[in-house]
Amino acid sequence: MPDGLRRFARNRMAVLGAIVIAIIVLVSVLAPFLYPKGAFSLAGQPLQPPSLQFPLGTDALGRDVAAGVAEGARTSLLIGIAAALSAVIFGAMIGGIAGYYRGTVDIVLMRVTEFFQTIPAFLLAMLLVVILSPSLLSVIIAIAAVSWPGIARLVRGEFVALGGREFILASLGLGASGPRIIFRHLLPNCLSAIITVGSLLVATAILLETGLAFLGLGDPNIMSWGLQISAGRVSLRTAWWVCTFPGIAILLTVLSINLVGDGLNEALNPRLRER
Amino acid sequence: MSDIVLDIQDLTISLPKGADRPSAVTGMNLTLRAGEVTCLIGESGSGKSLAARAVLGLLPAPRVRVTSGRILFEGQNLATIAPRDMAKIRGARIGMIFQEPMTALNPLHRIGRQIEEVFRIHTTLGRAERRARVVKLLADVHLPDPEKIARSYPHQLSGGQRQRAMIAMALALEPKLLIADEPTTALDVTTQAQILHLIHELQREHGTAVLFITHDFGVVADIADQVAVLQKGVLVESGPRDAVLNEPQHPYTKALLAAVPRLVVPDRPATEPGLVVLEAIDVAKSYAARGLFVRGRATRALDHVSVQLHRGETLGLVGESGSGKSTLARAMTRLLGIDSGDIILEGEAITHLAPRAMRPHRRRIQMVFQDPYASLDPRQRVADIIAEGPIIHGVAAKEAQARARRLLGLVGLDPSAADRYPHEFSGGQRQRIGIARALALEPDVLVADEPVSALDVSVQAQVLDLLADIKAKLGISMLFVTHDLRVALLICDRIAVMRHGSIVEIGPAAQIFSAPSHPYTKALFDAVPGAAWSAHMPVPAE
Amino acid sequence: MRRWRYFGYRLLLAVPVIFGILVLNFFLIRLAPGDAASVLAGESGAATPEYTELLRQKFGLDRPMPEQFIAYITAALRFDLGFSFRNDSPVLDLILERLGPTLLLMSTAFTMALALGTLLGLLAAVARNTWRDAAISVATLICYATPGFWLGLMLIVVFSLTLGWLPTSGFENIAEGYEGWERVQDIALHLVMPAMALGLFYLALYTRVMRASMLEQTGMDYVVTARAKGQTETRIMFGHMLRNAFLPVLTMAGVQAGNLIGGSIVVETVFGWPGVGTLAFTALQSRDLNLLLGIFFISACIVVAINLIVELLYVLLDPRIQA
């Protein structure tokens, strides 16, 4: 895919996004070394504005906001990637089965998919976290459980479109088995679309995660951006920095992932290059 | 002369960087006269469509644009005219019709409204008057129940009806010039004949000059007064129709004409009918619109069809779109399930074999497909594409790859092609790869589904030669699906004519040609573009 | 007409969706660890043993699964969504009380996002590759990456705390006792920031879809036909392309209806908007699961209704739709 890589590298916005993501990943990896005491520990006087000692200030409990932002990066990336990956795998499986076998299986699976696409995703995720009790795993499960329908419909659509193409018929005519057609012909031909949409899914997963954490539905033992903002709400009047910086972190992360996703889309699906 | 309508002088249209040549059209000169049809003929990529669009200023600017030359129309140079003035000419003084009437019409507006729009742009007619004119126009292009057609949406009409509506729209204000960009290419042959007739009739009536873009010499023979031949953007020959068709001067024109399949049955040694290899018995197939709750009307694609393919023969399945010819071919290869009836391969019923049990039989029937761009997996190397069949059937990968390289030689490609990807090849080359893939399994039966209809005429001839050659060399039986009677006569021993899911007539090619018994077969022959010319066409010296 | 039959068919399809939500609800309760009755009654031992027992009997939790299921469904079909012990009130009444403000907030945000998004997308497509297109694209990208609750907080910091232009929270200024037109103005003032916080994400989304859709239409054959008729570029844009390009936006709006409700929960929480969202938040705090499930059910019904409206618009706009 060196061709696609070259096209990606020509897209300045996408490269910028990739660099920002790299920095965020670096910060999240270095967090335990930068802030060895952890983000929950008392660092200094409460509600100090940004200063040289605390570049992002401290919150109402005297915790270093910068430490929280660094640890929150790890939480968000971990949950975002894990949830998106699970959703892609599950969605691709459902969509693949529906699109390959067609007929009644297709109708039933697509009705179920549409059902999950119709119902309010955030509410369902909320309910799932409440019922499974908030933890890292339950948040990942909840987000994955509401994120897969888009992938399922994409893969199903691609499979149906490709299935009508003559090269699939040709393979059938050669005597190729179902798995061979799926794994040798269908999947490789829609992989670029899956990668693109999957990368954008990480961004929505992070937005969902911060929303859940804001409502108090995150793992209580793990620092996250949503939790920081929710804790900073009470002191919004006096200490704007507690809420502001974690929010900017979310904005930057999601924006960068979207830029990279758009870049991937243009690089991997050359049909759209003209636009 | 004073009746010159359009005078194209030294026209050059540039292409963006990275195209296969710097300019789409180079130094073209062409003169159109009132009351004459001028056919601009060329193969795909010759620049003929861009030349036509340049006249109306419809080039995809700024990447493709006119860089030099003049397009003189009614005293104005259309190459440099201001957009505002050009808009006054479009639709009023020059009308245009396109290849694909479905996409050329706005799917969300009624036909009547779309035609009416022309009057609203260029005239001050009142609403009632406009409506009346629309209905009259629709009647003029011989559409049944014009009131109802005006109220219809594009998707509710047939392809032929849509093209008639387009013609009505283009001729609404009686323009001096009509530009027709392959207006019959997307249509069936009988519909094509009617549309050609209609254009001819209206053009004679109103003395319109017509610039007709086509790739088909048959169409040229039927409709042209003047012919201009375009090769890679250069006008190589032009003149009156009979002169160009009967005494071509330029080698390219000669080569093109030589490649046009004749409407004659070539002399070929009578084949002894061998045993039956593949047989369809009383096969029926319907397509139903399916849903969980709704069951739509069923379309009967095959209406109890029986047909036999003998060893060593080529059987042609000929018909228009929707006749069931492709459905029958796919049913006989068991790529498509059937509702009732039987498919017999060398005495064994394969109708209901499970995929696993069917696999060994798959080897014996192979297919060549229509679309050379869709029939090869874009993510596989040519060697892997050809070797896939043998590998599925247990040949070692190394051996299969070696065989793939040998086969490339057999279909006339360089063995080095094996390591490249499909997109690096032209349409004709891809079709050769598709044939190599089919041959890799050493099949008894080759089913070719419109294998040449997406190809240019010169490439078409080469691929047909290759198929005939292979068939003779390897003693394969062939089922050949086509909509083109000329191609069928050229390559088939027997021909089955299909319509509405049934075979209306079947017999030796010579008999079908010289003494068709069914009226539909006769109608098909009459509709072949350039039928009269084609039958008596002088065979050019090779 | 066939088109209307199609709409009837979609209407019919809403029934299994509603039924599916009930089934989902039923199994969600049983997904929870521990006794379903005590889960339903709410956590932290707030419920008396008598009430827990009452719940157990009412939902037939001592009976076999299929019987429980039938009992649950029949109750729900009579719109009996159970009782909230925490609030000492039937769940349905609680929700209906709060529905008005939520619908007002959602419809305002949705209409604004759809109208402005379509317009901005159109503008960006027309001015393709100019500074205006670039500015719209950048703004779109940023809005598309901003979480609604954070945007709400930042709006409060800027417009309420710093500038003092808009009220921080609530639905209206009850203390002033406004009536008639003055009350409408007061509510509208309170509505500005929540609607922006909720709507900006969708505004960005529809702008993106509309822009891409317009650019796709530009290459269509029918546009060339219109040009060949002598139609002006402006008229081609508004008379021909606009409606064709709007269809994908409409589809997206239908798909996103469910997320709009989710977004309104966090936004309402931020602004203390007295709607279903704040109700959900308090239910969440007290782990009042029965109330949460009721909110989930009613929200899903609203989404189904929105989807039907979208479907209706689609049938009106696209003559090709038919069963």
CB-nearest to C320 from B92, B95, B107 is B107
Query: Angle at Cα B409 formed by Cα B408 and Cα B412, nearest 5°?
Result: 90
Average pLDDT, chain A: 86
Query: CA of A152 to nearest chain B CA: how many angstroms apart?
Result: 19
Same domain, B194 and B75: yes
Q: Which domain holds residue B226?
A: 1-93+176-260
Query: CA of A247 to nearest chain C CA: how many angstroms apart?
Result: 6
Q: How far apart are CA B454 and CA C53, in angstroms?
A: 76
Residues in chain B: 542
Same domain, B88 and B229: yes
Q: Is the pLDDT of residue A273 over 50?
A: no
Same domain, B110 and B182: no
Using a CB-CB cut-off of 8 Å, the residues of chain C touching A229 are 149-150, 153
Same domain, B165 and B87: no
What is residue B297's predicted lDDT score, i.e. its pLDDT? 58
Using a CB-CB cut-off of 8 Å, the residues of chain B touching A111 are 292
Q: Which residue has the tokens 């429980």?
A: C68
Q: Is the pLDDT of residue B147 over 60?
A: yes
Using a CB-CB cut-off of 8 Å, the residues of chain A touching B386 are none
pLDDT > 70 fraction of chain B, expressed in percent and rounded: 95
Which residue numbers in chain C have pLDDT < 50? 44, 323
Query: CA of A63 to nearest chain C CA: how many angstroms apart?
Result: 20
Task: Tell me how many residue pairs between chain A and chain C have CB atoms under 8 A apart.
Answer: 140
Query: Angle at Cα A198 formed by Cα A195 and Cα A201, nearest 5°?
Result: 155
Name the residue type at position C132. Answer: R
Interface touch A121/C144, C-beta < 8 Å: no
Taking residues A222-251, report their average pLDDT.
86
Which chain B residue's Cα is nearest to A107?
B292
- Contacts (Cβ under 8 Å, ≥6 apart) of B315: B307, B309, B477, B478, B479, B480, B492, B493, B494, B495, B496
What is residue C38's predicted lDDT score, i.e. its pLDDT? 64
* Beta-sheet strands, E only, within chain C: 83-84, 89-90
Using a CB-CB cut-off of 8 Å, the residues of chain B touching C226 are 106, 117
Domain residue ranges of chain C, discontinuous segments joined by +: 92-322
Does the reported pTM lie above 0.80? Answer: yes
Query: CA of C161 to nearest chain A CA: how many angstroms apart?
Result: 7
What is residue C47's predicted lDDT score, i.e. its pLDDT? 60
Residues A111-162 have pLDDT tens digits of 899 889 888 889 999 989 988 888 899 999 999 999 999 999 999 999 998 8
Query: CA of A138 to nearest chain C CA: how many angstroms apart?
Result: 12
What is residue C267's predicted lDDT score, i.e. its pLDDT? 92
Q: Is the pLDDT of residue B539 over 60?
A: no
Q: DSSP for B191-232?
A: HHHHHHHHHHHHHHHHT-EEEEEES-HHHHHHH-SEEEEEET
Domain residue ranges of chain A, discontinuous segments joined by +: 2-273
Using a CB-CB cut-off of 8 Å, the residues of chain A touching C293 are 127
Task: State the architecture of C92-322 in CATH terms.
Answer: Orthogonal Bundle (1.10)
Beta bridge partners of B28: B11
Same domain, B88 and B203: yes
Tokens of C121: 């997308």
Using a CB-CB cut-off of 8 Å, the residues of chain C touching B153 are 319-320
Residues B426-467 have pLDDT tens digits of 888 999 999 999 999 999 999 999 998 888 888 888 899 899
Last residue in a domain, options B148, B172, B196: B172
Q: How far apart are CA B414 and CA B411, in angstroms?
A: 9
Best of A174, A189, A271, A275 to substitute, by most chain B Cβ atoms within 10 angstroms, is A174
What is residue B21's predicted lDDT score, i.e. its pLDDT? 85
Query: CA of B444 to nearest chain A CA: how many angstroms apart?
Result: 13
Q: Strand, helix or coil at C125?
A: helix
Interface touch A126/C145, C-beta < 8 Å: no
What is residue C35's predicted lDDT score, i.e. its pLDDT? 61
Using a CB-CB cut-off of 8 Å, the residues of chain C touching B90 are 227-230
Same domain, B152 and B201: no
Using a CB-CB cut-off of 8 Å, the residues of chain C touching A153 are none
Q: In angstroms, how far is the first alpha carbon of chain B from the final one?
A: 39
Name the residue type at position A146. Answer: V
CB-nearest to A207 from C31, C147, C161 is C147
Q: How far apart are CA B488 and CA B491, in angstroms?
A: 6
Using a CB-CB cut-off of 8 Å, the residues of chain A touching C150 are 210, 229, 243, 246-247, 250-251
Interface touch A251/C142, C-beta < 8 Å: yes
What is residue B269's predicted lDDT score, i.e. its pLDDT? 65
Using a CB-CB cut-off of 8 Å, the residues of chain C touching A132 are 31-32
CB-nearest to B437 from A111, A170, A177 is A170
Query: CA of A79 to nearest chain C CA: how many angstroms apart?
Result: 16
Same domain, B160 and B180: no
Interface touch A251/C146, C-beta < 8 Å: yes
Same domain, B108 and B243: no
Residues A10-21 have pLDDT tens digits of 888 889 999 999
CB-nearest to A173 from B292, B366, B374 is B366
Q: Are B163 and B183 in contact (CB under 8 A)?
A: yes
Burial C58-71 (b: 16+ CB within 10 A, else e): bbbbeeeeeebbee
The 8-class DSSP code of residue B318 comes to: E
Q: How confident is the model at residue A274 (pLDDT cuts 50, 70, 90)?
A: very low
Query: For residue B82, what is the domain's CATH number?
Result: 3.40.50.300
Does the CB of B377 have a partner CB in chain A at under 8 Å? yes
Using a CB-CB cut-off of 8 Å, the residues of chain B touching C239 are 117
Residues B211-247 have pLDDT tens digits of 999 999 989 999 999 999 999 999 999 999 999 998 8
Phi then psi for residue B43, to 5 deg, are -85, 175
Name the residue type at position B540. Answer: P
Question: Greater confidence, A220 or C113?
Answer: C113
Interface touch B100/C319, C-beta < 8 Å: no
Q: How many domains does chain B have?
A: 3
CB-nearest to A185 from B355, B362, B377 is B377
Q: Is the pLDDT of residue A271 over 70?
A: no
Q: Is the pLDDT of residue B1 over 60?
A: no
Q: Which CATH number fits domain A2-273: 1.10.3720.10, 1.10.8.60, 1.20.1050.10, 3.40.50.2300?
A: 1.10.3720.10
Q: Is the pLDDT of residue B372 over 60?
A: yes
Of the listed ranges A51-55, B289-293, B378-382, B411-415, the least confidently predicted one is: B289-293
Using a CB-CB cut-off of 8 Å, the residues of chain C touching B87 are 230-232
Interface touch A167/B363, C-beta < 8 Å: no
Using a CB-CB cut-off of 8 Å, the residues of chain C touching B58 are 224, 227-228
Q: How far apart are CA C23 and CA C17, in angstroms?
A: 10
Q: Which residue has the tokens 């140079």?
A: B77
Residues B390-429 have pLDDT tens digits of 999 989 999 999 999 999 988 989 888 889 999 888 888 9
Does the CB of C227 have a partner CB in chain B at under 8 Å? yes
Q: Are C145 and C234 in contact (CB under 8 A)?
A: no
Same domain, B214 and B87: yes
Neighbours of chain B (3+ CB pairs under 8 A): A, C
Best of B73, B78, B108 to substitute, by most chain C Cβ atoms within 10 angstroms, is B108
Using a CB-CB cut-off of 8 Å, the residues of chain B touching A172 are 335
Q: How far apart are CA B233 and CA A230, in angstroms?
A: 68
pLDDT > 90 fraction of chain B, expressed in percent and rounded: 53
Residues B150-162 have pLDDT tens digits of 999 998 898 889 9
Interface touch A127/C28, C-beta < 8 Å: yes
Q: Is the pLDDT of residue B291 over 50?
A: no
Query: CA of B432 to nearest chain A CA: how many angstroms apart?
Result: 14
Same domain, B180 and B89: yes
What is residue B542's predicted lDDT score, i.e. its pLDDT? 40
pLDDT > 70 fraction of chain A, expressed in percent and rounded: 96
Tokens of C5: 């039959």
Using a CB-CB cut-off of 8 Å, the residues of chain C touching A115 are 16-17, 20
B227 found inside a domain: yes
Interface touch C32/A131, C-beta < 8 Å: yes
Q: How confident is the model at residue A78 (pLDDT cuts 50, 70, 90)?
A: very high
CB-nearest to C31 from A131, A214, A233 is A131
Residues A170-186 have pLDDT tens digits of 998 888 888 899 998 99
Q: Are A127 and C296 in contact (CB under 8 A)?
A: yes
What is residue A88's predicted lDDT score, i.e. its pLDDT? 96
Average pLDDT, chain B: 88
What is residue B101's predicted lDDT score, i.e. its pLDDT? 85
Same domain, B184 and B149: no
Q: How far apart are CA B172 and CA B136, in angstroms?
A: 10
What is residue A222's predicted lDDT score, i.e. its pLDDT? 86
Interface touch C261/A115, C-beta < 8 Å: no
Query: CA of B112 to nearest chain C CA: how many angstroms apart?
Result: 14
Phi then psi for residue A61, to 5 deg, are -100, 10
Same domain, B240 and B383: no
> What count of other Cβ atoms lies within 10 Å of the Cβ of residue C150?
25
Q: Is the pLDDT of residue B540 over 70?
A: no
CB-nearest to C215 from A217, A252, A275 is A275
What is residue A133's predicted lDDT score, i.e. its pLDDT? 83
Neighbours of chain C (3+ CB pairs under 8 A): A, B
What is residue A34's predicted lDDT score, i.e. its pLDDT? 80
B476 found inside a domain: no
B222 found inside a domain: yes
Does the CB of C12 have a partner CB in chain B at under 8 Å? yes
Does the CB of C221 have a partner CB in chain B at under 8 Å? yes
Interface touch B333/A173, C-beta < 8 Å: yes
Question: Greater confidence, B252 or A49?
Answer: B252
Q: How far apart are CA B537 and CA A104, in angstroms?
A: 56
